[in-house]
Structure 1
Amino acid sequence: MDCIFCKIVKGEIPSKKVFENDNVLAFHDIQPLAPSHVLVIPKKHIASMNEAEEEDKELLGEVLLTAKKVANELGIADGGYRLINNVGSDGGQVVYHIHVHVIGGEKLGGLNVKG
């Protein structure tokens, strides 16, 4: 498998980590769209929300709760932030490993988030 996020999980590609446990990894986006822009991914490869199964519901819940933790750690929770999950090419998905963008740190207008 030639998934860039799987390579980040394995440590083959460096990342600026914000959070990590056995199931989830959060790291800074290399092309941030706002002062704070972090990606939260499950360590298990799931290509997109379309490929998520019933067995993944706890893991996906952990991804969302990690996004909340990250927002708190970044100091953007009180002011507000955006969570984005792009699905498929028409939805703007570029990397086919499910991920949630945590974006904030400024007043957010209409962002065109690809990823």
Structure 2
Amino acid sequence: MNKNIFTKIIKNEISAYKIAETYNHLAFLDIYPLKIGHTLVIPKKENIEKIFSLTKNEFLSIMSFTRKVAIGIEKIIPCNRIGIFVLGFEIPHAHIHLIPMDKESDGDFSKKRIDLSEKYFKILSKKIKKSIEIEK
């Protein structure tokens, strides 16, 4: 089976700017963000392409994890709110986008993405990671 990029990140075959992790979930910064702090939250369970294909308990668990991550992001990134988006067309693995937003158009996925340096991503991921309260 061909591994998608999220499976490779889960298995540490490629690096990511991880900000939170549990046995079942992983959150990391999107390397092509719409806004600074744009984060992806994924289940570690493989072969789940759609968020609603998760069992009820898996869905509730990832949403609880996502809430904790969003609260942590909001502590570091000034914004009016954290937007939550579930699209999943680009990668066949269930995932949630968390985007710091000041206006509705900040969630427009057709917009040009922000280009950030590796150094900036490292600093940002460390700051956000420290602000997230996750039980392992």
Question: Which TM class, normalised by the smaller chain length?
Answer: 0.7 to 0.9
Question: How many angstroms apart in 1 are the aligned matches of 2:5 and 2:79?
Answer: 32
Larger fraction in helix:
2
Structure 2 CA distance, aligned partners of 1:111 and 1:41? 21
Return the letter of the residue paired with 2:64.
Answer: L
Residues 83 and 101 in structure 2, CA contact (< 8 A), matched pair in contact too = no
For normalisation by structure 2, the TM-score amounts to: 0.68
Offset, 1:6: 0.8
How far, CA to CA, are the matches of 2:97 and 2:15 in structure 1? 18
Separation of aligned partners in 1, 2:109 and 2:93: 19
**Higher Cα radius of gyration:** 2
The structural deviation recorded for 1:44 is 0.1
Picking from 99, 103, 110, the partner of 1:103 is 99
State the 1:99 CA deviation.
0.2
Q: Which residue of 2 aligns with 1:90?
A: none
Q: Which residue number in structure 2 is paired with residue 94 of structure 1?
A: 90
Cα deviation digits, residues 28-77 of structure 1 (max 9, x gap): 00100012200000000201236x15xx2211212111221111111259
Q: How does 1:1-115 map to 2 (within 5 A)?
A: 1=1, 2-45=3-46, 46-49=48-51, 52-53=53-54, 56-74=55-73, 75=75, 79-87=80-88, 93-109=89-105, 111-112=108-109
* AA partner of residue 111 (structure 1): D
Q: Counterpart of 2:38 in 1: which secondary structure?
A: strand
Let me know the Cα RMSD of the aligned residues.
Answer: 2.1
Shift of 1:78: 7.8
Q: Which moved more, 1:75-84 or 1:26-35?
A: 75-84
Q: Is the 8 A contact 2:39 2:98 kept in 1?
A: yes
Gaps of 5+ in 1: 88-92
Asked if the contact 1:25/1:40 (under 8 Å) is kept, the reply is yes
Q: How many residue pairs end up in the alignment?
A: 105
